[in-house]
Amino acid sequence: MAGWRGALIVLEGVDRAGKSTQCRRLVQSLRAAGLRADLLRFPERSTEIGQLISSYLVKDKNLEDHTIHLLFSANRWEHVPLMKEKLHKGITLVVDRYAFSGVAFTSAKENFCLEWCKQPDIGLPKPDLILFLQLSPEEAAKRGNFGSERYENSSFQEKVLQSFYHLMTDKTLNWKLMDASKSIEDLHREIKSIAEETIQEVQNKPLEELWK
């Protein structure tokens, strides 16, 4: 097994689709199956940059739109050395949101184009698998009302979704659309099986760079 790398698996999706729930379940069950796996999330609010982002999201702080976009990206870049180290040790990383959320959210704002939004994230470790959890706004509403954080309103979320769909047209990336209206356990079983296949497939392939 020496030299085999872990897989980089990202979960994306609309708000309340169950990303965090499924990320936790996946890491648990991979570990239970004897595989090495760790959970990451973006934004990672624990760092200095992450705390700035968090105060922006809870509306304690206003930041200029380009600035916050670059901070979200910087928050990913500050984790790249650790991510690479773990992947090369054979640890699979399950990541709750990544550059795709970064691009989809900022490009949903007035006067931002997708191309500009992608630039700062070019060259990040490229995911081996991106699971997109799809859920209708009606189903999402059943899981609770929007909270009070920034971006939590339905017209903005609709624009975000359109940006995600645009990003999915990139066939150099391994997107898988998942029906997130299923029960937590049914969805978990599907995700686990795709994740295990991916872990097998990529273990002796080099890690690539995103959007390069």
Query: Which one of ligand T5A, Na ion, none is in contact with 100 (Cβ closer than 5 to 8 A by kind)?
Result: none
- How many Cβ atoms are within 10 Å of 110's Cβ, its own excluded? 6
Structure tokens at 164: 């995600």
Angle at 40 between CA 1 and CA 208, to 5 degrees: 55
Q: Are 55 and 47 in contact (CB under 8 A)?
A: no
| Distance of closest approach, residue 171 Cβ to Na ion, in angstroms | 27
Mark 54-83 with x for binding to ligand T5A (rule: CB under 6 A) and - for no binding: ---x--------------x-----------
| Distance of closest approach, residue 124 Cβ to Na ion, in angstroms | 20
- How many Cβ atoms are within 10 Å of 53's Cβ, its own excluded? 22
Q: Rule CB under 5 A: which residues touch Na ion?
A: 19-20
Nearest to 102 by CA among 75, 78, 129: 75
> Which one, 5 or 49, has the nearer CB to ligand T5A?
49
Mark 149-188 with x for binding to ligand T5A (rule: CB under 6 A) and - for no binding: --x------------------------------xxx--x-
* Residue 87 CB-half CA count within 13 A: 25
| Distance of closest approach, residue 212 Cβ to ligand T5A, in angstroms | 19
- Contacting residue, 25, 79, 97, 126, with ligand T5A by CB under 6 A: 97
> Which one, 33 or 184, has the nearer CB to ligand T5A?
184
Can residue 132 be called a binding residue for ligand T5A (CB under 6 A)? no
| Distance of closest approach, residue 141 Cβ to ligand T5A, in angstroms | 11
CA distance 67 to 179: 34
Radius of gyration of the chain (CA): 17
Can residue 118 be called a binding residue for ligand T5A (CB under 6 A)? no
Contacts of 49 (CB under 8 A, 6+ apart): 71, 74, 75, 78
Contacts of 147 (CB under 8 A, 6+ apart): none
> Which one, 102 or 125, has the nearer CB to ligand T5A?
102
Binding residues for ligand T5A (CB under 6 A): 13, 15-21, 42-43, 57, 72, 97, 101-102, 105, 143, 151, 182-184, 187
